[in-house]
Homo-oligomer: A and B are copies of this chain.
Amino acid sequence: MSIFVPMRIEIINIGDELLIGQVVNTNAAWMAEQLNLAGFMVDRYTVIGDNRLEILESLKDAHVHSDLILMTGGLGPTKDDITKDVLCRFFQTRLLFNQQAYENLEKFFTLRGIPVTNLYRKQAELPETCTPIPNSNGTACGMWFESKVKERDNKVICISMPGVPFEMKAMLMESVIPLLKKYFPSQTIVHKTIMTQGIGESFLSDILENWEKQLPANISLAYLPQPGIVRLRLTGKGSAAEPVDRQITEEIVKLKQIIPEYIYGSDNETLEEIVGGLLSAQGFTLATAESCTGGYIAHLITRIPGSSGYFKGSVVAYSNEVKESQLDVHSEDLKKFGAVSEIVVREMAANIRRKFGVDFALATSGIAGPDGGTAGKPVGTTWIAIATPTKILSEKYLFGEDRERNIRRTALQALNMLRKEIIHGDKKIRSAF
């Protein structure tokens, strides 16, 4: 059982690009969230440029106030990357060639079939007093420093990581958080996130008001909206995991009774993962015929490793000619009802299913905007159809005016329709389960 020790944690993000508004600092929010999930509360973060004096001053301030300092940025091989030099000066040490770091570097380059350049050789030089942290996605090692500050009783831990999100994220999850959990005792925090699709945050909070009020005092709820999705995060605190886990599980059972139709998964699962899992468990196959989503559904599905096991492919029919020639949509229907119509989207779904020889097919046709809307069919009008082994389903939606959001919402809505159909579809399909 772990004991709670109050601790002050600070993040320092280094990078000129963060100070002129060209790049939004998403690293800090992501780090804060992951640390939080692991039981560590961040108290402050500071963003500064690639500037020796600023870095030095921030390091000094942080070492006076904080127990744990997490830095990102300035570890690249170019001359504006100065963090390692400043760390040497601050910790009164020097750069030394590190054989282990060099071997990692060599491995990284060899895998890519290129030799280590002179510029990159410097990446294997590390401050003598640090413990290196491996980087599985790049050339810059992370660094762990422990030091004694005269104003403080405890040692201060300072960790320097790369600023490239892809490298930092892997390093934080694979190495830094496990090391921190060993080093610092923390109280038990249990999180569980429920994923919902198809309902907005304010409607959801109206429906859930009474349930939220009766939550135990040690359990809190957060609404985390994203375009087309609202995540509901339950956070429970206690001295041990098991009873908190049990409390949260009980609350989720209640929640599922209140909004069964909107819950599709948990803990940041995506709809494309859930749908992929359902298809692959039953040996079903899928294809898509996409107009307004323009390949986005196919892209979501094929982002998932192993999707080639159930996804056969897609026809993106962005013109009426292609709808006719590749999807056998009737020319008269296109003329009479238009491409954004129930009859056309049903033909698209039925025909792609037949042509690609799959069990399930999805089709979309809508007006993503900003142009193309009319009084009868404003921007946001969208038809979605699903063809199954036994029937064709179609639904109409009116989304908003923003093109990217319309594409995303259509794709999520289509995937959720498919998910429900695979699970709750008619008996003939269910018998295959």
**A78 and B314 in contact (CB under 8 A), knowing A295-B297, A371-B305?**
no
Partner of A44 from the list B28, B31, B48, B203 (CB cut-off 8 Å) is B48
Is B296 in contact with A201, judged by CB distance below 8 angstroms?
Answer: no
- What is the CA–CA distance of A41 and B217 in the complex, to the nearest angstrom? 43
Q: A191 contacts the other chain (Cβ, under 8 Å)?
A: yes
Q: Mark A297-313, 1 if CB is under 8 A from B, else 0.
A: 11101110111100111
Q: A77 contacts the other chain (Cβ, under 8 Å)?
A: yes
Is A224 in contact with B314, judged by CB distance below 8 angstroms?
Answer: no
Closest residue of chain B to A323 (Cβ to Cβ) is B313
Question: At the interface with chain B, which of A113-121, A151-159, A178-186?
Answer: A113-121
Question: At the interface with chain B, which of A18-26, A87-95, A425-433?
Answer: A18-26
Closest residue of chain B to A314 (Cβ to Cβ) is B316
**Which residues of B have CB within 8 Å of A18?**
29, 32
**A19 and B46 in contact (CB under 8 A), knowing A312-B321, A321-B357, A407-B303?**
no
Is A294 in contact with B305, judged by CB distance below 8 angstroms?
Answer: no
Partner of A78 from the list B205, B298, B322, B355 (CB cut-off 8 Å) is B205
Is A45 in contact with B43, judged by CB distance below 8 angstroms?
Answer: no
Q: How far is the CB of A7 from chain B (nearest CB, A)?
A: 14
Is B311 in contact with A318, judged by CB distance below 8 angstroms?
Answer: yes
Is A298 in contact with B326, judged by CB distance below 8 angstroms?
Answer: no
**Which residues of B have CB within 8 Å of A404?**
303
Q: How far is the CB of A283 from chain B (nearest CB, A)?
A: 14
**A33 and B20 in contact (CB under 8 A), knowing A166-B227, A223-B80?**
yes
Is A206 in contact with B117, judged by CB distance below 8 angstroms?
Answer: yes
Q: A315 contacts the other chain (Cβ, under 8 Å)?
A: yes
Residues of A202-218 at the interface with B, using a CB-CB cut-off of 8 Å, are 202-203, 205-206
Interface size on A, residues (CB 8 A): 108
- What is the CA–CA distance of A371 and B305 in the complex, to the nearest angstrom? 8
Q: How far is the CB of A186 from chain B (nearest CB, A)?
A: 15
**Which residues of B have CB within 8 Å of A290?**
295, 298
**Which residues of B have CB within 8 Å of A288?**
316
Q: Mark A354-388, 1 if CB is under 8 A from B, else 0.
A: 01110000000000111110000000000000000
**Which residues of B have CB within 8 Å of A47?**
28, 44-47
Q: A402 contacts the other chain (Cβ, under 8 Å)?
A: yes
Q: A171 contacts the other chain (Cβ, under 8 Å)?
A: no
Q: Mark A306-348, 1 if CB is under 8 A from B, else 0.
A: 1110011111111101100110000000000000000000000
Q: How far is the CB of A312 from chain B (nearest CB, A)?
A: 5
Q: Mark A33-57, 1 if CB is under 8 A from B, else 0.
A: 1101000011111111101001001
- What is the CA–CA distance of A164 and B356 in the complex, to the nearest angstrom? 40
**Which residues of B have CB within 8 Å of A368?**
302
For A77, A111, A137, A318, which residue has the most chain B Cβ atoms within 10 angstroms? A318
Closest residue of chain B to A20 (Cβ to Cβ) is B36
**Which residues of B have CB within 8 Å of A28?**
25, 47
Can you give 11 A-B contacts (C-beta < 8 A)? A18-B29, A45-B46, A112-B400, A290-B295, A294-B302, A295-B297, A295-B299, A298-B318, A299-B299, A299-B407, A326-B356
Instruction: List 17 extra interface pairs beyond A295-B298, A325-B356, CB under 8 A.
Output: A18-B32, A20-B41, A20-B191, A22-B191, A25-B28, A25-B29, A44-B58, A76-B202, A80-B222, A119-B206, A137-B402, A290-B295, A302-B318, A302-B368, A302-B407, A315-B326, A325-B355
Q: Which residues of A contact B (CB under 8 A)?
A: 16-26, 28-34, 36, 41-49, 51, 54, 57-58, 61, 65, 76-78, 80, 111-113, 117, 119-120, 137, 164, 166, 191, 193, 201-203, 205-206, 222-225, 227, 233, 235, 268, 287-288, 290, 293-299, 301-303, 305-308, 311-319, 321-322, 325-326, 355-357, 368-372, 398, 400-405, 407
